[in-house]
Amino acid sequence: MYVVTMNWNKLTSDAQLDAIKEESARQPVLIFKHSTSCSISAMALSRMERNWSDQLGVKPYYLDLLANRPISRKIESEFGVEHESPQVLLIRNGQCIYDASHMSISFAGLQQAV
């Protein structure tokens, strides 16, 4: 069986959010907000990784909430999406066009939004 591994880009600074907005004009960008101490977050992350396909054309970013909590607050204000954990946001043309949290996080939902 062939297993696809996601090439996560780590989101570790506020400045990266401006770059993400610019990138999202060329291709959709996924932000996955993950709490490393939460089993629900670990399950949602695992489901996303198991189903991931680079053919979707989405660039994935991973935010470790425990290490980078201020960035999560900045994401909330920049994109107008109330913070939850775990949470995914799909950014296109500098705007959040899709978000999901907890058990609603799925690759199928992401595919439909793209």
72: CATH: 3.40.30.10
What separation, in Å, do the N-terminal and C-terminal C-alpha atoms of the chain show? 27
Q: How much is the pTM?
A: 0.93
Q: Please check whether residue 45 lies inside any domain of the structure.
A: yes
Does the structure show a pLDDT above 50 at 1?
Answer: no
pLDDT at 2 over 60: no
Range of the domain at 57: 9-113
Residues 85-95 pLDDT 10s: 999 999 999 99
Q: Cα–Cα distance between 83 and 74 in angstroms, integer?
A: 10
Q: pLDDT grade, residue 6 (50/70/90)?
A: confident
Structurally, the chain folds into a number of domains equal to 1
Mean pLDDT for the chain? Answer: 92
